[in-house]
Amino acid sequence: MKKNRKNNLSEITPESVFMMKRRNLLKLLGIGAAGIAVSSTAKADLFSWLTEDNKPTTPKSSRKELQFIQPEEYQSSLQLTHEDKVIGYNNFYEFGLNKSDPAKYAHTMKTEEWTLTIDGEVNRPLTLNLDDINHKFQLEERIYRMRCVEAWSMVIPWVGFPLASLLSLVEPNSRAKYVAFETRYAPQEMRGQDSRFIGGGLQYPYIEGLRLDEAMNPLTLLATGVYGKSLPNQNGAPIRLVVPWKYGFKGIKSIVKIRLTESIPPTTWNLSAPHEYGFYANVNPDVSHPRWSQATERFIGTGGLGQVTRQPTLLFNGYGDQVAHLYKDLDLRRNF
């Protein structure tokens, strides 16, 4: 029991550890000798997570019931992560570094009027308004495993549509090789964009990217909902990316721009720590993060200590049959 607790504490938010290292890394490294010597923020986060003191403040009524189909191949017999965890234990650094911050603060982001522009190397640039985002595409439910680079995982029932459906509308031209994504930038609404302290020192807006063939893969989803209802802000309303064979940070939230490009686009975590976070970020148990092993993960089921189990991490997060061919000529160790 004690050992579990220690493990959890030492693994609390590895992505943010990079950001806080000057102040707190020594303390974190002292865990072994000094017992529970972690930053007070990490402790508070763990405490709130274990005590369920992190109930999302977004009223559930603000989430609309969605209409969607349930294709057989994307249903699953895996145990789902409880909805309270999916919408209460989040990474969205625009609202703070603690797992409970997004649920607490993301309601300040305005999503009533939203435009998503798709342009760059395409024949038919397109701007979608919120109504288009919500009604232009056939929605489907897909149950996907989600593996954060911090070595925790969930199983999440997303609702959305393939990114490929949107890309086929804009018709990428022959120069298009990559797809770049950008999150909303509104420091007045997003406290972490307004303060380097709250936002972990990342550069905002948050940006991400995929190779075009990765973007066109049938697994790659633009999600507008979760658990049958529209996304709460903390999960990236009104529209976010889900790439289930990659680490969670590739799944950029609250997207306002998609641009097709000829050259590889910069990405937020790679800019902040290039030796730790690559462009590919494919889930791979054999390629360790410089500061921790990726061989296993802590599965967050219903929450609480009894429901957190450690399990082996799978190559491509278990989606190798669908995506391994994309990387057959790539050295996955160099291209991490």
Could you say whether residue 245 binds Mo ion (CB under 5 A)? no
Q: Output the six-digit token pair for 157.
A: 């029932």
Sheet holding 207-211, edge to edge: 126-129, 115-120, 255-261, 178-183, 207-211
A 10 A CB-CB count for 51 gives: 10
- Judged by CB under 6 A, the stretch of 36-44, 92-100, 109-117, 257-265 that binds ligand MTE is 92-100
Residue 114's binding partner out of ligand MTE, Mo ion, none, with CB under 5 to 8 Å set by partner kind: none
- Judged by CB under 6 A, the stretch of 21-29, 85-93, 275-283, 297-305 that binds ligand MTE is 85-93
Flag whether 144 is marked binding: no
Residue from 28, 38, 81, 94 binding ligand MTE (CB under 6 A): 94
Residue from 220, 230, 235, 282 binding ligand MTE (CB under 6 A): 235
Q: Which residues contact 153 (CB under 8 A, 6 or more apart)?
A: 145, 146, 147, 297, 298, 299, 300, 311, 313
Three-class SS of 167-220? HHHHCECCCCCEEEEEECCCCCCCHHHHCCCCCCCCCCCCEEEEEHHHHHCCCC
Q: Which is nearer to ligand MTE, 81 or 134 (CB)?
A: 81
Flag whether 94 is marked binding: yes
Residue 18 to residue 316: CA distance in whole angstroms? 24
Flag whether 11 is marked binding: no
Could you say whether residue 299 binds ligand MTE (CB under 6 A)? no
Which residue number is nearest to ligand MTE in terms of Cβ?
Answer: 248
Residue 206's binding partner out of Mo ion, ligand MTE, none, with CB under 5 to 8 Å set by partner kind: ligand MTE
Closest distance between ligand MTE and the C-beta of residue 235, in Å? 4
Q: x/- binding map, residues 245-264, to ligand MTE, per CB under 6 A? A: ---xx-xxxx----------
Q: Quick check: helix, strand or coil at residue 324?
A: helix
Q: x/- binding map, residues 135-174, to Mo ion, per CB under 5 A? A: -------------x--------------------------
Residue 229 to residue 224: CA distance in whole angstroms? 8
Closest distance between Mo ion and the C-beta of residue 150, in Å? 6
Would you state the torsion angle of the CA atoms of residues 223, 224, 227, 230, taken in this order, to the nearest 10 degrees?
A: 170
Flag whether 93 is marked binding: yes
- Judged by CB under 5 A, the stretch of 91-99, 129-137, 253-261, 264-272 that binds Mo ion is 91-99
- Name residues contacting ligand MTE, limited to 184-223 (CB under 6 A): 206
Closest distance between Mo ion and the C-beta of residue 148, in Å? 4
Could you say whether residue 248 binds Mo ion (CB under 5 A)? yes
Q: Output the six-digit token pair for 89.
A: 């234990």
Flag whether 43 is marked binding: no
Closest distance between ligand MTE and the C-beta of residue 122, in Å? 23
Would you state the torsion angle of the CA atoms of residues 147, 140, 88, 242, taken in this order, to the nearest 10 degrees?
A: 40
What are φ and ψ of residue 299, in 5° steps? -85, 125
- Judged by CB under 5 A, the stretch of 48-56, 109-117, 157-165, 243-251 that binds Mo ion is 243-251
Flag whether 98 is marked binding: no
Three-class SS of 58-114? CCHHHCCECCCECCHHHCCCCCCCCHHHHCCCCCCHHHCCCCCHHHHHHHHCCCCCC
Q: Buried b / exposed e across 54-85, counting CB within 10 Å, b at 16+?
A: bebebeeeebeebebeeeeebeeeeebbbbeb
The one-letter code for the residue type at 325 is H
Give the distance between the most distant pair of CA atoms in the chain.
Answer: 61
Binding-site residue set for Mo-molybdopterin? 90, 93-94, 148, 183, 235, 240, 251-253
Contact residues for Mo ion, defined by CB under 5 A:
91, 148, 248-249
Contact residues for ligand MTE, defined by CB under 6 A:
15, 90-94, 148, 183, 206, 235, 248-249, 251-254
